[in-house]
Amino acid sequence: MRMGSRRDFLKAAAAAGAISAWEGWQPRAAEAADAPPVDFAQNVLQPPDDPAQWPAFRAALAKWRAETKARLHYNDALYRREDFAWSASNYCCCFLMMCDETFYDRRAGRYEVESFLERGRREFGGYDSVVLWHAYPRIGLDERNQFDFYRDMPGGLDGVRDAVRRFHARGVKIYIDYNPWDTGTRREGKSDLDALAEMVGALEADGIFLDTMSRGAAEFRAKLDAVRPGVILEGEGVVPLELLHDHHASWAQWFQYRETPGVLRHKWFERRHIQHQIARWNLDHSDELHAAWLNGSGMMVWENVFGSMAPWCNRDRSLLRAMLPIQRRFTSLFGGEGWTPLAPAERPGVYASLWETAGLRLWTLANRKTEAADGELLKVAGRPEQRYFDLVSGREVSAKTEGGDAVLSGAIGPRGIGCFLAAAENTLGEDFARFLEAQSRLNAQADFNTVNSKLEIRAIPARTPAPKANVPEGMVEIPAAKFEMHVEMRVRECGFYAAEPSASARKLHAIERFSRRVELKRYAIDETPATNAQFAAFLKAAGYRPKRPENFLKHWADGHPPAGKEDHPVVYVDLDDARAYSAWAGKRLPTEDEWQFAAQGTDGRTFPWGNRMEPDRCNGGEGKGTTPVKAFPRGRSPFGCYDLCGNVWHWTESERSDGRTRFCIVRGGSYFAAQGSGWYMDGGPRPANFAAKFLLMWPGLDRCATVGFRCAADLD
């Protein structure tokens, strides 16, 4: 079935400014009156399903665009600036967790920029930009603010800047992240805007991702221009249309799509504005890919979602690999005025957009059906001087002549994409043959498998010392037990114990409960957390020095504990520091189950002392810091353990990895609780059965002011 007449198509294309011979054409009053109602307040301007109404729909779009530009006195000066030109071809952005094991090699202590980008090229077609995501979901565990998280990355700001330069050397732009909700941690002593501008200058960043925001403050532009040219703003929300002139990109997050593809409002209004399609928990990205392809816009590649994996399937990777070289080569088309959405196509379920300029016509096609489309796909105005190419399969095609039209045939896989180019010989470019060959190779590698791979969580084995014949001094005995253990975790986007997405089908920030059957052998556990004095004795006796000393015992002075805090729990130690102390003492860290049983006792109580939070039972932050480990004798557990609630979190022997994210579980809560946002990590004293997932990266970041440990030991 042919969708719409060629005359209607030409009129609509002319109305959009696509065909110069029709530049003066305007829809007649009757045609404008016949236009279907369009809700121009929507992010996706949805056409009617009836193809007969599409010409009127296109005319309505053209009219709205012209009138809205006039009403807003729209000025595109920032899009015409040379230093911002990169943004119009920023089609593929990768959302990168800096703790991702494919990016940072903790053993080598190195950012693996080159191998990370090579993987991105091989699997997705390469990245035009990368968001260096840093703080959430770890932020809030202590007073470090979002800027401190960049400072505490491997190598500090110098190390991050070196990585940025390596990205730049390969043509990839870099965003840093701004979390406006971070108001409950350490303050900078200056405005967030000034701190961000300084960070942009220090890291030589190219953009700021505005987390949770739709727009940046008006003074952003001047502050950024004073520091570094060409820095763009990209919000997570949809930027108001009246601010589109100084926001070069935005997210198209969770947009809703019907089979008949809609038109992205912002991309229609400003053709050089890139909207990155994103639905972070989706395992089928074909809707987003089709929207980007038919609108000449961009995609966000985001698999490691704050520590939960949402892997792309092979089909979606193949589609993106096919799209990106075409988009990059023909950016002038996709960012130009010659766009006709809903161009006529010849098969049900196949939809097209036309992009053209002098000597070039390019059609992007999407098969919205789950069955392949094979055969005649387009019928276009024939031009004798033009040749025809299938840019997805990478080959020249022969057009069948039908009257004055050329009929283009091909095959598009289920939920796949297609692309035809009609071009005069002198418009192809000298390297066009190589471009076709590369597209042909990509097409040969295309895989339409839609099964999403799953990563396996591995437990990282720990050294286990020989059992003790007797309960060592300073430890308490815990009897063997078999019971059903109940664990609570807050629903956070970092997920739970498994690698698959966890927050998508659950109520964010709600409490999730797990149960497992537990069998524990007889063991011993320290009566208190390890103290500063005990750790000092370990350093003196063992001569321990960590391989990476950043933030190690940061609160000490000249190698000594703070005066008067010798009996406070030691902090600013990472998991390996705690393991080293435990090994020196002939002990180990407790497992999660051992820690919880020691805190709850045989009756499974909520807190070590009972089932209600009560005053004078724990350090809940009243003194704004740690307290001596035996300061709250009324808060002891049934087995006599101190400080199993509040004061400091405890490392447990629970390290896991899925090859992308390392994490462990911390228990007990602490004195510190960041206030003002639900996005912060849980703080304050926590119930005995509460577990928090702690994403691991490297010692300088993992050492915190609020995390300590205690030891355990097996008993004969």
Report the pLDDT value the prediction gives residue 454, as an integer from 0 to 100: 85
- Shared fold status for 77-328 and 473-716: no
Q: Are 329 and 310 in contact (CB under 8 A)?
A: no
3-state secondary structure of 263: strand
Residue 16 CA to residue 9 CA, distance in Å, equals 11
Backbone angles phi, psi at 381, to 5 degrees: -65, 125
pLDDT in tens, 536-594: 999 999 999 999 999 999 999 999 999 999 999 999 999 999 999 999 999 999 999 99
∠ Cα 305 552 167 (to 5°): 45
Strand partners, 490: 511
Residue 214 CA to residue 328 CA, distance in Å, equals 26
Report the pLDDT value the prediction gives residue 36, as an integer from 0 to 100: 76
Residue 501 CA to residue 454 CA, distance in Å, equals 10
Low-confidence ranges of the chain (pLDDT < 70): 1-35, 499-505
Residue 710 CA to residue 690 CA, distance in Å, equals 17
Q: How distant, in Å, are the alpha carbons of 200, 206, 356 from that of 127?
A: 20, 14, 26
Report the pLDDT value the prediction gives residue 500, as an integer from 0 to 100: 62
pLDDT in tens, 93-142: 999 999 999 999 999 999 999 999 999 999 999 999 999 999 999 999 99
Q: Are 277 and 366 in contact (CB under 8 A)?
A: no
User: 77-328 — its CATH code?
Assistant: 3.20.20.80
Residue 688 CA to residue 646 CA, distance in Å, equals 10
Q: Where are the domains of the chain?
A: 77-328, 473-716
Strand partners, 696: 662
User: Would the pTM of this model clear 0.75, i.e. be above it?
Assistant: yes
Backbone angles phi, psi at 249, to 5 degrees: -155, 160
Strands 511-520 and 481-490: antiparallel
Among 309, 256, 341, 287, residue whose Cα is nearest residue 61: 341
Q: Which fold has domain 473-716?
A: paralog of FGE (formylglycine-generating enzyme) (3.90.1580)
